[in-house]
A = this chain, B = another copy of it.
Amino acid sequence: MSGYFGAGTRAPESELEIIMSDMPSCQFESRPRRIVIGSGGVQADFCASCSVRPTSVCSVIEPSDISRLAEVAVETIISPGRGFIEEGAPATDFFNVTSGTVKLFKALPDGRRQITGFAAPGHFLGLAVSDSYAFGAEAIDTVRVCRFSREKMGELLDDFPKLERRLLEEASNELVAAQNQMLLLGRKTARERVASFLLDQMQAGLLPGQPPPSGGRLHLPMTRGDIADYLGLTIETVSRTLSWMRAQGMIEVGKGYAITIVSTPKLEVLAAGNS
């Protein structure tokens, strides 16, 4: 299988490219269609004005060197439901999420799927030693990413040692999150899993970037199915558990993707492992 982003067909750098979906729900049936907007040439303030730079790995690049960064970055817009990293495909690029939410997942041959994480703005994607991606990635809502070719990234790493240290930090953080998730998947009950998830989402919303949720109000961009695949449950169990939490006065379930946390302490007791 050829690279998902073949070097020969790559769009000129620093242009804006858009990966459209012909059918919002299909995945990898066809190669993403690419529309290049912009007209080539490097925009010097491309990275300087980036909203997620302060919280992303790019923050370690000094303002004076920002142009180096902009030279190798290609901004890409991905429409909802569209996959842009295919598990097992040759790993040609790294990504930095600048807006929207991405789901990362692994799948079994028969279709069972485990979402290994959700990537919010500022998140760095593609860390893998192997020459192929160990996971797939799909846009949940409309997503913007900065794309770096592996090759170019290597040059950056050589020139900016701080970047390497920052990536190590990023990887370590992910490792800690992964260990927490293993504990959740291996040893927590359904109620504990959902409680942990809601608290994590709350926590994630409090971080810089993203509108800060006030009054325990959460806007979850993912479907019940995504939550189920993330927590190792079924859609029905997630739905039932949320209903049970509502009945217990822990949360309020709004229309669509809104959930309000009414009692953080109750959820914390649950998440810590008291049935």
A residues bordering B, Cβ < 8 Å? 106-110, 112-114, 116, 127-130, 134-135, 157, 161, 164-165, 167-169, 171-176, 178-183, 185-188, 229, 231-232, 272-274
Q: How far, in whole Å, are A127 and B167 apart by their CA atoms in the complex?
A: 12
Shortest C-beta distance, A79 to chain B (Å), equals: 25
Inter-subunit contact A114/B187 (CB<8 Å): yes
Inter-subunit contact A188/B108 (CB<8 Å): yes
Inter-subunit contact B108/A176 (CB<8 Å): no
Partner of A164, one of B164, B172, B185: B164
Inter-subunit contact B108/A187 (CB<8 Å): yes
Please, could you name 17 A-B residue pairs with CB atoms under 8 Å apart, sorted by A?
A: A106-B180, A106-B183, A112-B187, A113-B187, A114-B182, A114-B186, A127-B168, A128-B172, A128-B175, A128-B176, A129-B173, A134-B179, A161-B164, A178-B178, A181-B182, A185-B232, A186-B231
Q: How far, in whole Å, are A88 and B180 apart by their CA atoms in the complex?
A: 13
The verdict on A116 contacting B179 (CB below 8 Å), with A108-B272, A185-B232, A272-B108 known, is yes
